[in-house]
Amino acid sequence: MQYHKAAFLGQERAKKAQMKLFDYAGFAMLTYTIKQSDKGFEPVGEEMLAGKIARGDEAMLFICDKDGYAKAQSKPLPMQKSEEIYRKMITDGIQEFMGMIKTVS
């Protein structure tokens, strides 16, 4: 797929993820929109999987695709707050991503 086509489609998918995460966390920033494979450029996947990364007494929440590419991320949140939001996401039916999250931070 050509870069600009992959970027356009990936941006649409990432924006949807950003809005969904914003609804939970009150802040969400767009991260990856494309990924590179042996086939060339591809948009991030359509999947909406919840992920989190803890650092010290804070955690960031993510919505990523099946390959772990973060499409949206929260700002660092206090651990208790991030756990509450994450549990709500899972309870609401967003599947949990269990692998290594690929993010820009």
β-bridge partners, 70? 64
Using one digit for the tens of pLDDT, what is the confidence trace for 31-40? Answer: 999 998 888 8
Residue whose token pair is 């591809």: 42
What b-and-e string marks burial along 42-79, b requiring 16 or more CB atoms within 10 Å of the CB? Answer: bbbbebbbbbbbeeeeebbbbbbbebbbbbbbbebbee
Q: Residue 47: is its pLDDT beyond 90?
A: yes
Domain spans in the chain, listed from the N-terminal domain onward: 3-96
Residue whose token pair is 């309870």: 91
The predicted model scores a pTM of 0.92
pLDDT of residue 104: 82
Confidence tier at 56 by pLDDT (50, 70, 90):
very high
DSSP conformational letter for 92: T
